């Protein structure tokens, strides 16, 4: 099933980005507030993250705290907290008293990111094979066999479930590898936020699942070389699937 703006609107509520020819479009919202007064900062954060990830908010959209707060019918505090978190995610940048949505990753940045992944993740998979406990292997097996919320049809919620599964799976391998420096470097690269923002509506969703199963099986054998090879193959195949969608 194709995922278009109409599908997205169903999931994200009544806020919309003004799409004019300005280089810094302002956000406008419809009259009905979508949050209650006591909304958690988490809800505001998830709301704006979705808008950025699915391109409802285009790159270089201006986000002003008091304007957003008024339009969402909330106080400035949860909006300020949400924008700080989005800045940590590298999805927005503060300039003056406003935030702006960041550009989508370009081709050079994408290739750079995959070089980093191909260097770090097969090595982490090899370490994981050496260090995995039975409990680790059970967690890995559960993640691969029951990727929550997924199905054959790919709409926004399933796309998001796929992204979250992929993020959990790759993060779990770093947890099992038990190297804090590598885990930290991987987390700071924001691999999934940056990659999945390109790929919304590409319908590639479920293609990597059987490769995850192969990586998990390899780690369960305890063989570092086999695990290294399985992760390398998954990343190289992902790279080939994703590359055609990268712009610039």
User: What token pair was written down for 25?
Assistant: 């479009």
**Which CB, 78 or 208, lies closer to Zn ion?**
208
Among the residue ranges 86-94, 172-180, 203-211, 224-232, the one whose residues contact Zn ion (CB under 5 A): 203-211
CB of 215 to Zn ion, least distance (A): 8
Among the residue ranges 105-113, 148-156, 158-166, 178-186, the one whose residues contact Zn ion (CB under 5 A): 158-166
Among the residue ranges 96-104, 130-138, 162-170, 177-185, the one whose residues contact Zn ion (CB under 5 A): 162-170
Are 162 and 203 within 8 A, CB to CB?
no
Among 208, 220, 224, 230, binds Zn ion (CB under 5 A): 208
Cα(46)–Cα(157) distance, integer angstroms: 13
Among the residue ranges 77-85, 96-104, 156-164, 200-208, the one whose residues contact Zn ion (CB under 5 A): 200-208
Among 166, 172, 186, 214, binds Zn ion (CB under 5 A): 166
- Biggest CA–CA distance in the chain, Å, is 59
Cα(47)–Cα(12) distance, integer angstroms: 7
Which residues neighbour 182 within 8 Å (Cβ) at sequence distance 6 or greater? Answer: 120, 123, 124, 174
Are 234 and 208 within 8 A, CB to CB?
yes
CB of 231 to Zn ion, least distance (A): 9
**Which CB, 9 or 236, lies closer to Zn ion?**
236
Chain centroid to CA 204? 14
CB of 148 to Zn ion, least distance (A): 15
E strand or H helix that includes residue 94: strand 92-95
Residue carrying structure tokens 């066999």: 145
Binding site for Zn ion (CB under 5 A): 166, 208
């Amino acid at each position: 099933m194709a995922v278009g703006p109409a599908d997205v609107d169903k999931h994200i509520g009544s806020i919309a980005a003004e799409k004019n020819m300005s280089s810094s479009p302002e956000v406008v919202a419809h009259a009905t507030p979508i949050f209650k007064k006591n909304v958690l900062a988490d809800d505001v954060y998830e709301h704006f993250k979705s808008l950025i990830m699915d391109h409802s908010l285009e790159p270089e959209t201006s986000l002003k705290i008091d304007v957003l707060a008024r339009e969402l019918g909330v106080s400035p505090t949860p909006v300020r907290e949400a924008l700080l978190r989005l800045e940590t995610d590298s999805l927005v940048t503060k300039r003056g008293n406003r935030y702006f949505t960041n550009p989508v990753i370009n081709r050079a940045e994408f290739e750079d990111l995959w070089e980093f992944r191909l260097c770090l993740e097969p090595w982490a998979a090899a370490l994981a094979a050496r260090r995995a406990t039975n409990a680790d292997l059970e967690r890995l097996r559960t993640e691969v066999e029951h990727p929550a919320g997924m199905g054959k049809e790919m709409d926004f919620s399933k796309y998001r479930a796929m992204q979250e599964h992929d993020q959990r799976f790759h993060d779990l391998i770093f947890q099992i590898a038990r190297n804090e420096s590598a885990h930290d470097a991987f987390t700071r690269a924001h691999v999934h936020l940056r990659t999945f923002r390109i790929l919304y509506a590409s319908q590639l969703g479920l293609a990597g699942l059987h490769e995850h199963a192969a990586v998990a099986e390899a780690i369960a054998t305890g063989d570092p070389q086999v695990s290294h090879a399985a992760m390398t193959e998954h990343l190289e195949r992902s790279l080939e699937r994703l590359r055609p969608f990268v712009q610039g």
